[in-house]
Chain A
């Protein structure tokens, strides 16, 4: 079996080049920390890695959405709580006024305080969040939702739709309530708003002189029923907001867990197993050294050395 001098050299050289190439590839993996340095290394793994990356990005976006929705709902809960407190105070006042022990100047004082409560609640109804958006205006969030009409009544001019924010692929959360649902159209009051009922009881108290004690008792008991209905509506709203906050919390936890799980899968697919890579590197290093040393030995052998 004949071999030419060229063949001896070129086969050694090409073997060394292959060893060098393999060693270089392993070194690239080690320095990038990736098993998949370019997609061609593992096309299906690379495609999977891209999908995982996209899923992580989407889930993190949902987390951002949640982070924006939470403070808004917290603020709404606080404000609705404050309105409830004011209405409780109004209830106490009306109860006392209907006890029959008040005189007309007491009634005047009570009416004044009720009118102040009316103003405070109107202020809350027209309050804004840190963005400058009106809390209870629905989607017409840059304009005051409650306007005082010419006849002194309060009208709701906001939108009837609220903003929905997606917090997962299948779930969206409403980030507010319309002023219509919170303050207006209280059930069992004949279509009155909170403002309307406070205004009418205050007016009645101011003209207490012209009312008989029976009429005063009727007026105050009607007012108490109205206030109770409004408290019930406010409580419903606050419960709903509380439920939404709970949903946000649990979804936020689920999203976090999902991100962690996706990242761990991504790492399994894409990242390098250092233990295996380092031992592979050692082996390839040894192989290259052996090839280089044996080349030097073989290249010294020539019959011309002995002639």
Chain B
């Protein structure tokens, strides 16, 4: 009888409704879960004479409550927040060391130049000269410590880049798996809600690593693109990223995508943005490369000038003065794919023309070209004498004639020239005898302080690139770092607010509200009981009918 069938359909439907409600309650705190709602609809009615009699309820579908648009907004917010948080935390570490009075450069500079003045007021006192040499040692050590700070941060950042690339590859592999499962499950016509939730969660985690673009295909699988169009995942295929030394830089990792024809990976670092990777790359360029080089330039300029001044004077014993400091070499590194095994010999010929940039020297097959990396502009080199192979540019002397061994230099060979990157760690104090400080301008007059007065005056000379004093230059590095830290902190705070708003938006649509589920429990339970009662009533009706016939 149709009453029984109708009641039974109700019983089954509300049983499923209760199951869905309990599924929601169990997953109330599951990350990435979208609440599910059972959609009920009436069964096709039966025609009986002039009326249609209803035949009960059936389950239309289990709807997954989520919005693709809101999910996309959440991914963007996750990406920005991860980027800004990472940048802010690295920036704060660097800012703290530079501005701290015990670790910054400023106090060491002041103490050194004060000790020079003390020698100027008392040039015959060995105690003052000894103190000056001690302060020179302290200054060299402080420069070294600052450089080590940057190197430690760089190691940290590169380590994180390698880790992030590993994690991206793991997520890509998971996405491929889920894509396959979703395509298989979707072929039955129903929507695999929980698999979709899992895939959405992986996409969120991926967004935290890097900015991604998603497109959904007709069969239900998704394709993921990064950078300016590079494919990360396409259906059932994942492109694994690599983090390796793809340029001539021996320290910094570049991000590469495998090339289609089996050659070395293609460097896509410059297209990467957003997420942790974007934050790490930006930290490396703005917070590490720039300030480290500028401090190296300060170290080089100051010690070169002090050496020059000491050489102009005469020491306590009347001998001509020598160098106070030993200076570092210019760092030159070859790209791993270079043909030539030799390196060009690069020295600094004029420190006042030096810039705080790194340079790339490349051989085109016919001539050498130099590129300044800070502003990415080509630099014209003047050859000292035609055909000598020795070029001068930006205060550097580049000697390519020493690369005469085999295998010879071939077209495409590239070298990275870093005059200032490691300079702050490469200093040393060359004299140990306090008598060797050349205080006098005239030989034999031990009380003469005119040369050491000139040395004290270096503190106020526009030394760095011919325009700024030592202290002003360091001050501007510190200010630059402080300003960028402030900006990163503001970005972190505002992106955190946006992330909260995006999460709230998602929760409004997809989040489970336990009170709502509790109310549904009561509702479905009552409906189930009512349907059961209908079955009992139908049974009694049948019993009545049978007993009539007896």
A38/B513 in contact, CB under 8 A: no
Residues of B within 8 A of A64 (CB): 114, 117-118, 121
Pick the interface stretch among A40-48, A199-207, A228-236, A285-293. Answer: A40-48
Give the contacting residue for A43; candidates B479, B514, B521; CB below 8 A: B479
Within 8 A of B (CB), among A30-74: 38-41, 43-44, 46-47, 50-51, 53-54, 57-58, 61, 64-65, 68-69
> Quick check: is B92 within 8 A (CB to CB) of the other chain?
yes
Which B residues are CB-close (under 8 A) to A296?
none
- Tell me whether A39 and B124 are in contact (CB under 8 A): no
The proximity string for A residues 269-307 relative to B, scoring 1 for CB distances below 8 Å and 0 otherwise, is 000000000000000000000000000000000111001
- Per DSSP, chain A at the interface is helix
User: How close is A61's CB to chain B, nearest CB, in angstroms?
Assistant: 5
User: Across the interface, do B121 and A303 meet the contact criterion of CB distance under 8 Å?
Assistant: no
Smallest CB separation, A267 vs chain B (Å): 15
Chain A residue with minimal CB distance to B125?
A131
B447 close to A142 (CB less than 8 A): yes
The number of residues on chain A lying at the interface, defined by a beta carbon within 8 Å of a beta carbon of chain B, is: 48
- Contact between B106 and A50 (Cβ–Cβ < 8 Å)? yes
B202 interface hit (Cβ, 8 Å): no
Docked pose: A14 CA to B114 CA in angstroms: 51
Which segment of B154-162, B219-227, B404-412, B500-508 sits at the interface?
A: B500-508
CB pair B447–A5 under 8 Å, yes or no, is no
A304 touches B508 (CB 8 A): no
**Are A163 and B449 within 8 A (Cβ)?**
yes
A7 B121 Cβ-Cβ under 8 A: no
Q: Which of B13-21, B209-217, B372-380, B482-490 contacts A (4 or more CB under 8 A)?
A: B482-490
Please classify the interface of chain B as helix (H, G, I), strand (E, B), loop, or mixed, using the class held by over half of its residues: helix
Contacts of A165 in B (CB 8 A): 120-121, 449
B98 cross-chain contacts in A, Cβ below 8 A: 39
Is the pair B514, A304 in contact by a Cβ cutoff of 8 Å? yes
- CB of A3 within 8 Å of the partner chain: yes
| Contact of B91 with A3 in the complex, beta carbons under 8 Å | no
A244 CB to closest chain B CB (Å) equals 15
- Is A5 in contact with B122, judged by CB distance below 8 angstroms? no
Establish whether residues B511 and A5, one from each chain, have CB atoms under 8 Å apart when the complex forms. yes
B194 CB–A CB distance under 8 Å: no
CB proximity of A27 to chain B, nearest CB, Å: 17
A150 at the interface (CB under 8 A from B): no
Inter-subunit contact B447/A159 (CB<8 Å): yes
> 0/1 per residue, B434-466, Cβ < 8 Å to A?
000000101011111110010010000000000
Do A139 and B504 touch (CB < 8 A)? no
In the complex, what residues of B have CB within 8 A of residue A65's CB? 117, 120-121
Nearest CB of chain A from residue B546's CB, rounded to whole Å: 41
Q: Tell me if B95 is interfacial: C-beta within 8 Å of chain A.
A: yes
Q: Which residues of A contact B29 (CB under 8 A)?
A: 6
Q: Are B486 and A43 in contact (CB under 8 A)?
A: yes
Closest to A64 in B: B118
Minimum Cβ distance to chain A for residue B525 (Å): 10
> Is the pair A39, B118 in contact by a Cβ cutoff of 8 Å?
no
Of the candidates A39, A166, A307, the one whose C-beta lies within 8 Å of that of B518 is A307
Q: Which of B120, B124, B471, B500 contacts A133 (CB 8 A)?
A: B124
A164 to chain B, nearest CB (A): 7
Contact assessment for B124 and A142 in the assembled complex, using a CB-CB cutoff below 8 Å: yes
B515 A137 Cβ-Cβ under 8 A: no
B430 on interface, CB distance cutoff 8 Å: no
Assess the B448–A7 pair: CB atoms within 8 A: no
Cβ of B508 and Cβ of A54 under 8 Å apart?
no
CA distance A4 to B504 in the complex (A): 9
Q: Across the interface, do A38 and B519 meet the contact criterion of CB distance under 8 Å? A: no
Enumerate chain A residues within 8 angstroms of B485, measured Cβ to Cβ: 38-40, 43
Assess whether A54 is in contact with B471, with CB atoms less than 8 Å apart.
Answer: yes
- Distance from A301 Cβ to chain B, minimum over Cβ atoms (Å): 8
Kindly report which residue of chain B lies nearest to residue A49, judged by CB atoms.
B99
A166 partner residues in chain B, CB cutoff 8 A: 117, 120, 453, 456
> Hey, which chain B residues are within 8 Å of A69, CB to CB?
121
Q: Determine if A103 is an interface residue (Cβ-Cβ < 8 Å).
A: no
Is there a chain B Cβ closer than 8 Å to A132's Cβ?
Answer: yes
A residues near B63, Cβ cutoff 8 Å = none
A46 B479 Cβ-Cβ under 8 A: yes
Are A68 and B121 neighbours in the complex by a CB distance under 8 Å?
yes
Tell me whether A11 is interfacial, beta carbon within 8 Å.
Answer: yes
Q: Which of A10, A41, A54, A133 is in CB contact (< 8 Å) with B503?
A: A10
Which residues of A lie under 8 Å from residue B117 when comparing CB positions? Answer: 61, 64-65, 166
> What residues on B are CB-neighbors of A6 within 8 Å?
28-29, 507, 511-512
Neighbouring B residues of A115 by C-beta, 8 Å: none
Q: Assuming the A-B contacts A139-B442, A304-B514, are A50 and B118 also in contact, with contact meaning beta carbons closer than 8 angstroms in the complex?
A: no
The answer to whether the Cβ of B522 comes within 8 Å of any Cβ in the partner chain is yes
23 pairs, A vs B, C-beta closer than 8 Å: A4-B510, A5-B511, A5-B512, A7-B503, A7-B508, A10-B503, A14-B500, A38-B96, A38-B99, A39-B485, A40-B92, A43-B479, A43-B485, A46-B478, A50-B99, A53-B110, A131-B125, A161-B442, A163-B447, A165-B120, A165-B121, A166-B453, A304-B514
8 A-B pairs besides A44-B479, A142-B447, A159-B445 with CB distance below 8 A are: A39-B481, A47-B478, A54-B471, A58-B110, A131-B122, A139-B448, A140-B444, A166-B453
